[in-house]
Amino acid sequence: MDRGWWWKFGMIVAVTLGTFWFLIPTYYSLVVMDRDQRNNLALLQERLPAWAPPAKYRLNLGLDLQGGIHMVMRVDTKTALQKRTERRGQQIATYIADKKLGEVTADTDPEKLQLTLTAKDPATMDAIEKDVLATYGDFKQVRRDGATLVLAPDESQTNRFREEAVDQAMLVIRRRIDKWGVAEVDVRKLGTDSIQISLPGRSNPEQAKELVGTTAQLEFRMVDDSNPQFFAQMFQSNPPPAGSNITLADEGGFPQLQAPTREALLDYTKGKVPENRVVLTECIANPMKKNECTSYRTFLLDKNVPLTGESLAGADASVSQMNEPEVNIAFDAAGAREFEKLTEAGVGKRMAIVLDDNVHTAPNINEKIAGGRARITMGRMGARSFNEWLGEAQTLALVLKAGALPAPVTVGEIRQVGASLGDELIKKGSLAALMGLGLVVAFMALYYRKAGLIADIALILNGLLILAGLAFFNATLTLPGIAGFVLTLGIAVDANVLINERIREELSHGKSAKAAVDQGYDRAFWTIFDAHVTALIAGFILFFTGTGPVRGFATTLIVGLLASLFTSIVVTRVIMTYFVHGKNAQSVSV
């Protein structure tokens, strides 16, 4: 055996051991852990031995195998856009009246999204047209007939607005899911106007409905700071039950209750609040993962809601002259009056901004604010980069917009699989895979004898490698994925058929055992390579264009083809070479 052989042999041993090592988290999550704890990464990490790979490298089961809901929501950007155009129309009409240019009525066409301004006095229209077009850059003129001016929103503006509408809807959905305390939820944007949500292990369509059901509710409520020690007293006089994980946190002189779940806080404070007060919670975000709440804290608020998102005309994040991020908000006329009243009475107090019963922030009221325009400056807490700081202002602006101009959401796609069906599919899928694999293994051993057995060893290693590879890429195993797995093994064994047939052929030409094996592998290599690359091309295209289960299938196919290149060419050759060269054999069993 030469040095090259030993190198390869060492590599194969290392890969095999690594494969087994890498499958430990998967083994634990599927076999050792309880069924309903399968997705609990933290518990898995705890259970895993210290020398095992991190828990996140476990093979996920797709929603079709473990039960769950996959949803695609479509954001009704058209309705949102129509509402916005209307609002702009009202603003333009007010602007014209304020500037004493004349008097117009604004009308929006819900289908074409066009804004029609009709002047009471046709003579004023020329001046209005000129001024409006110069002032409102987000509108283009469509046509002008005498006293009417038809405008259409500028395309780049509407595109930006559409994007914003999807972001808003996503934020609302995240906040709502967060209320259920589901940790493994995956929410992501899909295309230009859709949002994809995965809820593994969940099969309650009612919850899914809650996501789309109601439009976002934005409220401005006064924080009751008349008794700063309110929560501290509650905590001391009536300690929370053991195991509820509720603690008292004191930040800035206002002690608040803090707990890892919302329910714990709401349950505990229930019935302990004065009549016209209400307790709501704020999410304390995980600094590493922006969209995850590590814990929640309580706020004592007035039950009365003086101002809602409906009175809000707009919100925007910007950077002040002091180079601090801030959010500028504007109220409509009625809102401005109410806001002035509130701020006058509440100087020195805090006003909470609440979206869907989640307190988002509670800025201090520094002075009475008249005119309906206010600025919320973002305090800089802890060590944060400027971008993170600015990001917070942008999120707040998004929260405000979500409440002011809610974009209605409809369900585009729901795929829900019950847990029992998932279990059945896993069972059937594994049986199918084992049967297919068993038949191929038996056939190879019978047909090619020793060379067949060697191919079988490689095939089994190939199967394990695919599973480990999928775990490494954080891929998800779906039912089509299992089909892909089986098929990949069927194709992988083709490579060994090609090699063995070639060796037989070389032997029939009268070559020695050694020469036949060497030539068999060398000649078959490019054939196998070309065949694998073409199949890989199909796999990659499937991966980049597919969604959901089909993508799972493509991942399996790709990982499988790569693993098969290694096992069918490198692994079998090393073993064959050992039997032929190492033992100096005169014959070879193929």
Q: How far apart are CA 586 and CA 590, in angstroms?
A: 13
Q: How far apart are CA 473 and CA 58, in angstroms?
A: 9
374 touches 339 (CB < 8 A): yes
Give the up-direction half-sphere exposure of residue 174: CA atoms within 13 A in the CB hemisphere: 22
Residue number, 48 or 63, with CB nearest to other proteins: 63
CB of 445 to other proteins, least distance (A): 11
Residue number, 133 or 550, with CB nearest to other proteins: 550
Beta strand spans in 408-472 (E): 409-417
- Map the footprint of other proteins across residues 3-62, applying CB under 8 A: none
CB of 532 to other proteins, least distance (A): 8
Residue 372 binds other proteins, judged by CB under 8 A: no
User: Exactly one of 497, 515, 570, 585 binds other proteins (CB under 8 A); which one?
Assistant: 497
User: Exactly one of 493, 513, 563, 575 binds other proteins (CB under 8 A); which one?
Assistant: 493
CB of 404 to other proteins, least distance (A): 9
What is the SS3 string spanning 271-284? Answer: CCCCCCEEEEEEEE
- Map the footprint of other proteins across residues 175-194, applying CB under 8 A: 191, 194
User: Exactly one of 365, 396, 483, 517 binds other proteins (CB under 8 A); which one?
Assistant: 483
User: Exactly one of 371, 534, 582, 587 binds other proteins (CB under 8 A); which one?
Assistant: 534
Residue 83 binds other proteins, judged by CB under 8 A: yes
Q: DSSP for 515-577?
A: HHHHHHHHHHHHHHHHHHHHHHHHHHHHHHH--HHHHHHHHHHHHHHHHHHIIIIIIHHHHHH
**Among 9-17, 239-247, 266-274, 546-554, the segment contacting other proteins (CB under 8 A):** 546-554
Residue 541 binds other proteins, judged by CB under 8 A: yes
**Among 114-122, 168-176, 341-349, 500-508, the segment contacting other proteins (CB under 8 A):** 500-508
Residue number, 283 or 330, with CB nearest to other proteins: 330
CB of 305 to other proteins, least distance (A): 15
Taking each helix axis as running N to C, give the angle between helix 155-180 and helix 205-213, from 0 to 180 degrees, rounded to the nearest 10: 140
419 touches 411 (CB < 8 A): no
**Among 242-250, 338-346, 482-490, 566-574, the segment contacting other proteins (CB under 8 A):** 482-490
**Among 286-294, 296-304, 319-327, 537-545, the segment contacting other proteins (CB under 8 A):** 537-545
The two structure tokens encoding residue 589 = 């069993």
User: Exactly one of 11, 457, 542, 570 binds other proteins (CB under 8 A); which one?
Assistant: 542
Range 526-533, long-range pairs (CB < 8 A, 24+ positions): 527/498, 528/495, 528/498, 528/499, 528/565, 528/568, 528/569, 529/565, 531/494, 531/495, 532/495, 532/561, 532/564, 532/565
Q: Which amino acid is at 263?
A: E
- Map the footprint of other proteins across residues 248-287, applying CB under 8 A: none
Give the up-direction half-sphere exposure of residue 585: CA atoms within 13 A in the CB hemisphere: 16
The size of the interface with other proteins (CB under 8 A), counted in residues, is: 95
Residues 6+ apart with CB under 8 A from 536: 558, 561, 562
The two structure tokens encoding residue 486 = 């089986």
- Map the footprint of other proteins across residues 93-152, applying CB under 8 A: 93, 106, 108, 110-111
Residue 76 binds other proteins, judged by CB under 8 A: yes
Residue number, 52 or 479, with CB nearest to other proteins: 479
Alpha-carbon dihedral of residues 170, 172, 173, 178, nearest 10 degrees?
Answer: 120
Strand ordering across the sheet containing 104-109: 104-109, 114-119, 148-153, 139-145
CB of 227 to other proteins, least distance (A): 36
Residue 85 binds other proteins, judged by CB under 8 A: no
Residue 457 binds other proteins, judged by CB under 8 A: no
Q: How far apart are CA 192 and CA 55, in angstroms?
A: 34
Closest CA to 96 of 158, 161, 149, 146: 149
CB of 286 to other proteins, least distance (A): 32
Alpha carbon separation from 265 to 172, 223, 253 (Å, rounded): 21, 17, 20
CB of 213 to other proteins, least distance (A): 6
User: Exactly one of 332, 356, 456, 506 binds other proteins (CB under 8 A); which one?
Assistant: 332
- Map the footprint of other proteins across residues 549-588, applying CB under 8 A: 549-550, 553-554, 557
Q: DSSP for 459-489?
A: HHHHHHHHHHHHHHTT-EE-HHHHHHHHHHH
Instruction: Give the angle 328-315-163 at the CA atoms, nearest 5°.
Output: 135
- Map the footprint of other proteins across residues 197-236, applying CB under 8 A: 205, 209, 213-215
- Map the footprint of other proteins across residues 383-422, applying CB under 8 A: 406, 408, 410-418, 420-421
CB of 186 to other proteins, least distance (A): 18
User: Exactly one of 147, 248, 432, 460 binds other proteins (CB under 8 A); which one?
Assistant: 432
CB of 163 to other proteins, least distance (A): 18
CB of 302 to other proteins, least distance (A): 23
Q: Tell me which residue has tokens 């905590």.
A: 235
Taking each helix axis as running N to C, give the angle between helix 479-508 and helix 513-545, from 0 to 180 degrees, rounded to the nearest 10: 160
Residue 306 binds other proteins, judged by CB under 8 A: no
CB of 572 to other proteins, least distance (A): 15
- Map the footprint of other proteins across residues 512-531, applying CB under 8 A: 523, 526-527, 530-531
